[in-house]
Amino acid sequence: MKYRYLGNSGLKISEICYGNWLTHGSQIENETAIKCVHAALDAGITSFDTADVYANTAAETVLGEALEGHRRESLEIFTKVYGRTGPGGPNDSGLSRKHILEAINGSLKRLRTDHVDLYQAHRYDTETPLEETMQAFADVVRAGKALYIGVSEWTADQLRAGHALAAELGVQLVSNQPQYSMLWRVIEDEVVPASEELGISQVVWSPMAQGVLSGKYLPGAPLPEGSRATDPNGGANMVKRFLNDETLTRVAALRPIADELGITQAQLALAWVLQNRNVACAIVGASRPEQLAHNVAASGVEIPAELLTRIDEALGSIVERDPARTLLDGPTKRPT
């Protein structure tokens, strides 16, 4: 396992990060989830990403149980706040001071720790003054409940505004968590340059495009039984945008490139996002423990420039690059 600094900080995290968005507390049994976390640790993963909204807080609970007894100083635990939790009252979502300060206490209790290494704004809150949000995050850091702060799916302008306020308040905004993959490159033109300027890293989710880049979905073939694309509670709505014959045909053309490197298509997808030096880690999930060692093998893989060019040629026009998608896909109001 290789490690990278998170933003312009001294914190190092594992290049492959374990995330439990669609699995813990919902898609797989808790016993299997705990085995997956232990397999991640055995494979050298030290960074773990979750959120209070995942399975309506159950994912944090499972992760806390799985990590209990392991040396806390050897782990980097990330969680997030914004989405609706609890019964869905008027203050059960968003980035108000009330919700942030109550949410961090709930997350710490479920994670069985006195602090998280990274506390992230899961989305931008259009209904709360940014000054209020950043002051609350600064207070969380000063209380010792989080070491660093980050955000998720913020635009370049939002990152600049948030970073400026964080600097005034004397805290470090070190990361952004966007969707990023060979097929989804909307951060490259605006978010990445702004982040490089500000000392912010990307902690990327869906580096395998919901599993499409693993090559398991084939053009004209039935969807694999038990796959994410067949599970309405496991991300089927998100993966369906990639499930068309043109995309799947072009993705299949990546297999010879992976073969030349002696790796699988899934490992190629993970290695590809890690070629971007602004990326600190790629988040992977797992429904079976054996998947973790396979994913970790992508850490440290270098893809030669000529093969990166061939990847671009193979995928062609199916790649989404429009930077406006970050704002267009973001929430216009808090979830209720």
Task: Quote the pTM value.
Answer: 0.94
Q: Which of 121, 170, 71, 12 is nearest to 1 (CA)?
A: 12
Mean pLDDT of 302-312: 98
Q: Which CATH superfamily is domain 3-328 in?
A: NADP-dependent oxidoreductase domain (3.20.20.100)
Residue 22: the pLDDT is: 72
Does 243 score more than 70 pLDDT?
A: yes
Per-residue pLDDT band at 231 (split at 50, 70, 90): low
Does 217 score more than 90 pLDDT?
A: no
Model pLDDT for residues 33-47, shown as the tens digit of each residue: 999 999 999 999 999
- Residue appearing with tokens 């039935």: 222
Mean pLDDT of 236-245: 81
Cβ atoms within 10 A of the Cβ of 333, count?
A: 10
List all residues 6 or more positions away from 166 whose beta carbon is below 8 Å from its beta carbon: 134, 137, 138, 149, 172, 173
Catalytic option among 54, 119, 124, 180? 54
Catalytic site residue 124?
no
**Contact yes or no for 116/79 (Cβ under 8 A):** yes
Domain boundaries, the chain: 3-328
Mean pLDDT of 53-67: 94
Mean pLDDT of 239-246: 87
